[in-house]
Amino acid sequence: MDGTGGDLADDLLAQYKFAFDIHVGPVLMVDQDGLIVLANRSAEELFEYPPGGLDGAAVEELVPTDVRVHHPELRQAFFQLPHGRRMGGQRDLQGVSRTGKPVRLEIALESVPAPSGCTWVIAEITDLTARAQVEGRLLAALDAVYGALVMVDQRGLMTMVNRATLAMFGYDEQELVGAPVELLLPERYRLRHPVFVRSYMQARSRREMGIGRQLFGQHKDGHEFPVFIGLTPIETPEGVLVMSSIEDLTERHRSAARIEKSNADLQRVNEELMQFAYSTSHDLKAPLTTVIGLLRFIEQDVLSGELTEALENIRGALDLTERQAARVESVLDLAKSDHAEVARKSVDIGAMIEGLWNELTSDEETSAILTVDLAGAGRICTDETRMYSILENLISNAIKYADHDKPECQVRVALCRTGDDARIVVADNGIGIPEDKHDQVFKMFQRFSDRSAKGSGLGLAMTRKHVQRLGGTITFVTSDKGTEFTVDLPGCCAEVET
């Protein structure tokens, strides 16, 4: 019986061996004790065993050590209820080679009758290494994409997210995979979103999401950011998946805002320039037309020998052209003052005021009285040329617009400091600035008295430009009792020793 049984077993085994040898993929046969009865060459190669090396070995040797202890139990359970099935459910399995290398695989199990009423189990193995490599490369490629990629299944759950998604939304991969895609939306959109997902699953076209609307994503920390989302349906045997490609628009919006702002700036500068060109051409032209008129009469008078009137008109023309030359000079100064660098150094304001006063009152019959109040702070750190121009304009205006109905012309210049900031006040008891002219004070070519008064009409426009270039502000208060200009210059006392 034994001998016959042994022959039978040998015959059966020989038949299986023949079948195994012509089978291309790896295949094993295991008995109820978990010992390998038969393995083909392909299986030996997969697990790095020499020919015949697996025969009689425990199948647990091919199981990774961390799950090896549970395997006999699972194996016995199968033997009790043997039916052909895939091992491990939907999970990918892992084996281990003789040298300890992990082997990704899929196993199909089938029980077959063995001699003596026993059962053998044939395990047909699919080597997933190559597939895992392709998948690995694919995932690496998805991770290399700058935008976030989120794969969503028909239930609206995230099945795959790339690395950019994690960075953009601030989550870990485990927090996202398997979670509803609504997790990435601001709360106010979460309720309605599943409806959109369902309707998209019906339509399945490659398109932009939320056309015409600004979409928002929500970071794990709660902050929202504008996004662009492109949707692409992917047909798979498991059903339709949707690949969403998400782009964070924060930076794009920021740079659009920057461009818009610089456009507005350019437009403003351009308008200023147009205004400048208009005022300049008009104001430079006006005296020329007068000179032309005078010259016509001069010619007429010279021809007819009326030399007295001709001489008078020549003097008039000279006066006009001289005034004009000075104005052209100021226009150029004003244009240049926009571009010249600010060169700060310690400047003695007291000495500057004194020098200016002497110059401005030297050839006048002015009986103006100057009061200087430096409150012990004679020096500030500023651009000397600009500061000179500011003080010159303000003090000369104070003298120029004196009120001759008052007994004396008084000019007061004060410098005071608050922390690192300096304040300069130039006050007079002059005629004041008419109320309806207040908004024109700092515009170009404005004069509030007779045209023959000295001055280009550019003084305060230039003064304000200088103050602005120094990072300061200029304001004034005025009434029929006089005018007071206040120049605030921040940070110009910092490096000055007192």
Partner 1 sequence: MAVIVVDDEKFDRYLVRRTLREVSPDMSLIEMQDGRQFLDFLGTSNFDDTREYPPETLILLDINMPRATGFEVLEQLKALRDEGHSSARCVVVMMFTSSENEEDKNRAFSYEFVKDYIVKPIDHGQLDRLIGIYQPGSRDAA
Q: Which is nearer to partner 1, 116 or 289 (CB)?
A: 289
Shortest distance (Å) from residue 455 CB to partner 1? 11
Shortest distance (Å) from residue 254 CB to partner 1? 39
Shortest distance (Å) from residue 427 CB to partner 1? 22
Task: Spell out, one character per residue from 42 to 81, where the chain touches partner 1: x when CB under 8 A holds, - when not.
Answer: ----------------------------------------
The first and second tokens of residue 65, run together, are 């050590």
Q: Which is nearer to partner 1, 86 or 282 (CB)?
A: 282
146 counts as binding partner 1 under rule CB under 8 A:
no
Q: Which is nearer to partner 1, 236 or 452 (CB)?
A: 452
The first and second tokens of residue 442, run together, are 């700092």
283 counts as binding partner 1 under rule CB under 8 A:
yes
What gap in Å lies between CA 161 and CA 156, rounded to an integer? 13
282 counts as binding partner 1 under rule CB under 8 A:
yes
What gap in Å lies between CA 97 and CA 49, rounded to an integer? 8
Shortest distance (Å) from residue 296 CB to partner 1? 7
286 counts as binding partner 1 under rule CB under 8 A:
yes
Q: Scanning residues 300 to 319, which ones bind partner 1 (CB under 8 A)?
A: 316
Shortest distance (Å) from residue 447 CB to partner 1? 5
192 counts as binding partner 1 under rule CB under 8 A:
no
Q: Which is nearer to partner 1, 6 or 434 (CB)?
A: 434
Shortest distance (Å) from residue 395 CB to partner 1? 21
Among 133, 434, 471, 473, binds partner 1 (CB under 8 A): 434
Among 129, 255, 449, 473, binds partner 1 (CB under 8 A): 449
Shortest distance (Å) from residue 336 CB to partner 1? 25
432 counts as binding partner 1 under rule CB under 8 A:
no
Among 320, 335, 352, 414, binds partner 1 (CB under 8 A): 320
Kindly state the number of chain residues that form the binding site for partner 1, as judged by CB under 8 A. Answer: 24
198 counts as binding partner 1 under rule CB under 8 A:
no
268 counts as binding partner 1 under rule CB under 8 A:
no
294 counts as binding partner 1 under rule CB under 8 A:
yes
292 counts as binding partner 1 under rule CB under 8 A:
yes
444 counts as binding partner 1 under rule CB under 8 A:
no
Shortest distance (Å) from residue 324 CB to partner 1? 12
Contacting positions for partner 1 (CB under 8 A): 278, 282-283, 285-290, 292-294, 296-297, 316, 320, 434, 445, 447-452
